[in-house]
Amino acid sequence: MIELRSDGLVFTFPEVHPQARLTIGFQRTLRIPDDGKDYFLPPGLGRFPVRHVDDFAGRVPHGWLEHGGVMLPMHQAEAMWLNFDSGYIPEHETEYPFAVKIAAGRIDAVTGENWTNGLHGLPQDYMVVPGQPWLDGFCVEKGTIRQFVAMPLGEGYTAEEQI
C-alpha cells in the first residue's frame, strides 16, 4: 500500500511483515554550484509539501491526471534530496531491508540511464535501504551526481529531455 503521510510517501507491505515499511521524504535544500567541484550534501531545509495530483484536477495538465500520482512545488532556485527510513524490527535489532529504484521522468536516478523494470546488478540500478540513507541527485557519470533541481519543462533542460 502507498500512502501520502506528513508530506512523505509511505510504502507498507503488511502481508510480508508488520514492520515492512519504507518512508521517502522530499527535502528542500540549497542549490550547489554546478562547477565541477565536490560538495557535501547541503542541509535539509524541511520537507517539500507533497500533494495528490487529483486534488488539483482543475489546475493541472490533463496528462498529469491520466498518469496520477503526487506532485510538489519547486522554485527554480531550489533543489531537493530524498531521504529514506524503513521500519525497525526489534527482534532482529535492524531496520527492514528494501531494494529501492528511483526515477524522475523515465530516467533511472541511480544509473542515469533510461528506466527499466526489475532490479539489475551490472550496473546496479537500485539502492539498499537501510544502507542508503538518502539520494541527492542523478548519476551523470561514475562518481558524478547532479542535484535534483527544478527546471523549465519543454526547453531541453530536464534529465529526461537531455537523454
Task: Kindly report the length of the chain.
Answer: 163
- pLDDT value at 143 more than 70: yes
The number of folded domains in the chain is 1
Q: Higher model confidence: residue 139 or residue 98?
A: 98
In the predicted model, what is the mean pLDDT of residues 73-91?
90
- pLDDT value at 144 more than 60: yes
Q: What is the mean pLDDT of the chain?
A: 89
What would the grid cell of residue 130 be?
Answer: 537501510
80 Cβ contact partners less than 8 Å away, ≥ 6 residues apart = 26, 27, 28, 29, 48, 72, 74, 147, 148, 149
Closest CA to 56 of 47, 64, 48: 64
What would the grid cell of residue 76 be?
Answer: 527554480
What would the grid cell of residue 34 be?
Answer: 554546478
Q: Higher model confidence: residue 161 or residue 59?
A: 59
pLDDT band with cut points at 50, 70 and 90 for residue 26 = very high
What would the grid cell of residue 15 be?
Answer: 502481508
User: Structural domain of residue 25, as residue ranges?
Assistant: 2-162
Please give the Cα distance from 104 to 19 (Å, whole number): 27
- pLDDT value at 112 more than 80: yes
CA 92 → CA 43, 81, 95, distances in Å? Answer: 31, 29, 8
In the predicted model, what is the mean pLDDT of residues 77-102?
93
Which letter does DSSP use for residue 86 in this model? Answer: E
